[in-house]
């Protein structure tokens, strides 16, 4: 049975694919590439949360929400420009945002150093960045999907131990 094309996957399915890919990169000691995949998974988690907020409070079509996600540009922009304002009147979600923003900033800073300055990272930096991404993803997605679990494979299980 063929798998669905990437464009037809939900944000959660895409997130899980990115997480699976990073475990292979990590096992091959491709630290910087694993960090970029972890950051991509974190951004997909933000996309999921933003889409859930818009679905709960508006009738905007998907194309419009997609345009807002592109406009917000990156994990930090999506949080600052979309998600934080969307949850401003929800005390439970608003209370979680400060800690999540801190994790997102750490993930983004390391990803941006790799993508924009050509930085190479070592195993310790990768382990830390992946842990930050894991905590961000889990903390954010479980606000919308309480039963959510990242599907760990291989090396990423070792990263939790």
In a domain, 65, yes or no: yes
In a domain, 145, yes or no: yes
Give the mean pLDDT per block of 10 residues along the chain (161 residues): 84 95 94 97 98 95 96 94 95 92 95 95 96 97 96 58 47
- The number of folded domains in the chain is 1
Distance, in Å, from the CA atom of 141 to the CA atom of 41, rounded to the nearest integer, reads: 11
CB count within 10 Å of CB 10 equals 13
Q: What is the pLDDT of residue 132?
A: 97
pTM over 0.85: yes
In a domain, 4, yes or no: no
- With b for 16 or more beta-carbon neighbours within 10 A and e for fewer, the 15-27 pattern comes to bbbbbbbbbbbbe
Q: What is the CATH number of the domain that holds 53?
A: 1.20.120
Distances (CA, A) of 28 to 22, 39, 107, 112, 155: 10, 18, 21, 22, 10
Q: What is the pLDDT of residue 153?
A: 64
In a domain, 92, yes or no: yes
Q: What is the pLDDT of residue 151?
A: 86
Structural domain boundaries, residue 76 = 11-160
In a domain, 1, yes or no: no
């Amino acid at each position: 049975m063929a798998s669905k094309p990437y464009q037809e996957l939900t944000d959660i399915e895409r997130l899980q694919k990115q997480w699976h890919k990073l475990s292979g990169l990590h096992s091959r000691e491709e630290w910087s590439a694993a960090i970029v995949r972890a950051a991509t998974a974190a951004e997909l988690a933000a996309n999921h949360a933003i889409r859930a907020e818009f679905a709960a409070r508006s009738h905007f079509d998907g194309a419009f929400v997609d345009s807002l996600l592109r406009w917000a540009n990156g994990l930090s922009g999506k949080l600052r420009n979309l998600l934080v304002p969307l949850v401003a009147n929800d005390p439970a979600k608003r209370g979680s945002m400060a800690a999540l923003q801190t994790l997102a900033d750490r993930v983004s800073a390391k990803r941006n150093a790799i993508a924009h300055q050509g930085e190479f990272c070592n195993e310790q930096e990768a382990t830390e960045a992946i842990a930050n991404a894991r905590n961000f993803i889990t903390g954010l997605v479980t606000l919308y999907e309480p039963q959510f679990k990242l599907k760990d494979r291989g090396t990423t299980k070792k990263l939790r131990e």
